[in-house]
Structure 1
């Protein structure tokens, strides 16, 4: 599927506009049996000239719909209605397409759009297979991908969610987890969104579990790399030995408590990168024995950083694992210590660009 998508998408190739009939106007309201209609137009917010639905208001309306199946349908209709309004705002060349749980808003030619939708759908299926006995596909909502034609529209939209970010560095796309989670990218960077999709679909399939952030992110990074292998490191890149030295220099007793609590993933310095890498390494080692790892994941809880589940199902103490990786002597200071944490532990699935 990756090869098919890459063969269809050539950034410098001019795409011919698909001839389509005039589309009906977007819905002004969404209906659900037994409930008052939800006004879409009255709940649209401005995102630098582009419409964003008030998802808090939508959620409040959906909560009043009777029955889980009806609520799921109502939420899905809110998603579609918002995307139809966004389609109109972006211009007449944009089209909204659907395949199973995937929705795509773009100007991509039909064959490229279909391949993109198939990639999202197939990736979800592969995540479920890889995370055998652990993954659970959410019953609500779609996997939404918005492909903007150019950088201006993309950054104008993204700036709504990150108003204090100022100038954005080059981005291959991101997942925006705000009310209604969705992927965004630019047409020229379509291939770069693939690992982001794999990573975030993994998080979605783990969202039913109270696991700690390091486990959540470690599983997501390993699954992402398995489905979308990164390019081989260049000669100028960081070697594994250099990365190991960075870990040894950075992690101390205080920093490791941030790791176990998930707070280190929110750092804005190198601790952010090193947190994801340390989580990747630990999960890669634990996941080699899948049956035991599955039992561990299903039992792990963020409240103790997964310590009791690791001892019970893996027969290891997390502090000993980390101290060995860092080539430090065994000590209780490396183990999760919730009493030393500041605030509630994080569960992961952090938005990133």
Structure 2
């Protein structure tokens, strides 16, 4: 094998590896400086850059599994149950507003705090979990109306209903968590997010 042929083969292999690694970064949901550095490293550091991408990002098969799970149609609940609380009838508290489901939020709040079929207020964490159940239920009913391309991602601090790929939804959820922490530090006790309650982020596929 001549040196010229070997060099050409090496360039072709390197190009194929770099293109594959670049596509992997582009589809990973990474944002900002980290994404720029990973892509730059692929082309500046032969083989090493692609290896860094492989070790720092989830595998394509893992991402595919995540996307498939995100696409599973979890059924929207017709009722909710929580320790120490009576059953909450979701369907009885859903109204149709402009062809979209609207939950009776005051009724949910009263139930979560022990005002519907239970006695006494509950600890903030217990009430927050009950409220989160109600918000999740409403989002699942809303998802059913908006279409099969919409998926619900349940993050540590937020619910995201969107058509986004699961990797992008996860990155967005991490951004929400980081932003909430920064706001808490900035306000330094003057205001804070309710204990254990999750925010809601709705992303629609288009402006219509």
- What's the TM-score once normalised by structure 1's chain length? 0.37
> In the alignment, does 2:86 pair up with 1:36?
yes
Q: How far is the alpha carbon of 1:55 from its aligned partner?
A: 0.5
Q: Distance in 1 between matches of 2:154 and 2:78?
A: 21
Correspondence for 1:67 = 122
Corresponding residue to 2:162 among 106, 112, 120: 106
For residues 112-140 of structure 1, the C-alpha deviation after alignment (integer angstroms, 9 at most, x for no partner) is 21221111111111112222343433115
> In the alignment, does 2:120 pair up with 1:120?
no
5 Å matches for 1:319-334?
A: none
5 Å matches for 1:184-263?
A: none
Correspondence for 1:92 = 148
Q: 1:129 to 1:60 in 2, by over 3 A?
A: closer
Between the two proteins, the alignment pairs up a number of residues equal to 143
Correspondence for 2:47 = none
Correspondence for 1:76 = 132
Unaligned runs of 5+ in 2: 1-29, 37-66
SS at match of 1:151: coil
Correspondence for 2:99 = 49
> In the alignment, does 2:184 pair up with 1:131?
no
Q: 1:77 to 1:4 in 2, by over 3 A?
A: farther
Unaligned runs of 5+ in 1: 8-17, 153-353
CA RMSD of aligned residues (A): 2.6
Is the 2:113–2:122 Cα contact (8 Å) retained in structure 1? Answer: no
Q: Distance in 2 between matches of 1:110 and 1:5?
A: 19
Q: How far is the alpha carbon of 1:86 from its aligned partner?
A: 0.9
Q: How far is the alpha carbon of 1:23 from its aligned partner?
A: 2.2
Correspondence for 1:271 = none
Q: How far is the alpha carbon of 1:151 from its aligned partner?
A: 1.8
Q: How far is the alpha carbon of 1:108 from its aligned partner?
A: 0.4
Q: 1:129 to 1:47 in 2, by over 3 A?
A: same
Q: Distance in 1 between matches of 2:140 and 2:178?
A: 25
- What's the TM-score once normalised by structure 2's chain length? 0.60
Is the 1:5–1:116 Cα contact (8 Å) retained in structure 2? Answer: no
